[in-house]
Amino acid sequence: WKHFDLTESEGQYRVSSSSQPITASPGDDVILRCHVKPEYNVRALTIEWSRSGTLDRPWEVEGEEEDYVHLYRNQKDNEDGKIRAYINRTDLLKDSLRHGNVSLKIKNVTVDDQGTYRCFIPKLSSRVWRGREAFVTLKVLEPNFGRTTESSPVLTTPEPIDQINVQSDRHRHFLWISVVTVCFIAILGGVVLTLLKLKCGEQNVKQTEKKSVDALLQRKALSV
């Protein structure tokens, strides 16, 4: 079917919805968005929400008595003809009806809820019949939908090049410090060892000189 676009200048109203399907998971609460354009207070009008039951079959039968997902009549919710599975699970946004918002909230959706939903306002002032209705598609997917049983490889994020360069520079810097430290310790050890040797040599010379002097004095004493 085709939706006819009626402009505001023509003074006509139409029920409008998104052509994009709504996707949900089991247990979610969803809102089937639907509005009257231009904005119009529909609190006094009958609002019927029903469904086709499948995603691939449009609503083809008009005028046939159907069960309702939600029925709003005489400014209150009406349980007559409501599908049992939707009892206590649907609500209209009552405070928004005055602004033409006829969206339907469905609580705790299941896979059985997926399908094409029809919002219909029988007494809406519209130039064509199709202007009084709009359709919303709901898809309810299992949590594991689209997943495979094969385990995915664990991917690791490579380190940025800048970080690698910084780490390389740090490594070279540490290596240079280590080399310099070792050289300094080696030189310092050599200096200390040389000083010790010199000191020992001086002590040996002094002892030798002292022995020579003592021997000379002893010989002089004997000669006297």
Q: What is the pLDDT of residues 93-120, one digit of tens each?
A: 999 999 999 999 999 999 999 999 999 9
Amino acid at 122: P
Do 90 and 131 belong together in one domain? Answer: yes
Tell me: pLDDT of 24 over 90.
Answer: yes
At 16, the pLDDT band (50, 70, 90 cuts) reads: very high
pLDDT (tens digit per residue) in 47-77: 999 987 544 444 444 444 458 999 999 999 9
Per the structure, the count of domains in the chain is 2
Average pLDDT over residues 12-40: 92
Over residues 24-45, the mean pLDDT reads 94
**30: CB partners within 8 A, 6+ apart:** 22, 24, 105, 106, 109, 138
Whether residue 18 is found in the same domain as residue 129 = yes
Grouping H, G, I as helix, E, B as strand and the rest as coil, residue 9 is helix
What distance in Å separates the CA atoms of residue 102 and residue 42, rounded to the nearest whole number? Answer: 8
148 assigned to some structural domain: no
Question: Which of 81, 105, 140 is the last residue before a domain boundary?
Answer: 140
Rounded CA separation 2/122 (Å): 18
Residues 129, 200 within the same domain: no
In-domain check, residue 145: no
Same domain, 53 and 129: yes
Residue 189 lies in a domain: yes
190 and 98 inside one domain: no
Which domain covers residue 174, as residue numbers?
163-224
Residue 81 falls within a domain, yes or no? yes
Q: Is residue 152 part of a domain?
A: no
Beta strand pairing call for 76-78 and 70-73? antiparallel
pLDDT at 105: 96
Quick one: 129 and 74 in the same domain?
Answer: yes
Q: CA 47, CA 45: separation in Å to the nearest integer?
A: 6
pLDDT in tens, 36-46: 999 999 999 99
Are residues 173 and 100 located together in one domain of the fold?
Answer: no
Q: Are residues 127 and 169 in the same domain?
A: no
Q: Tell me the pLDDT tens digit for each residue of 118-147.
A: 999 998 887 777 789 999 999 999 876 555
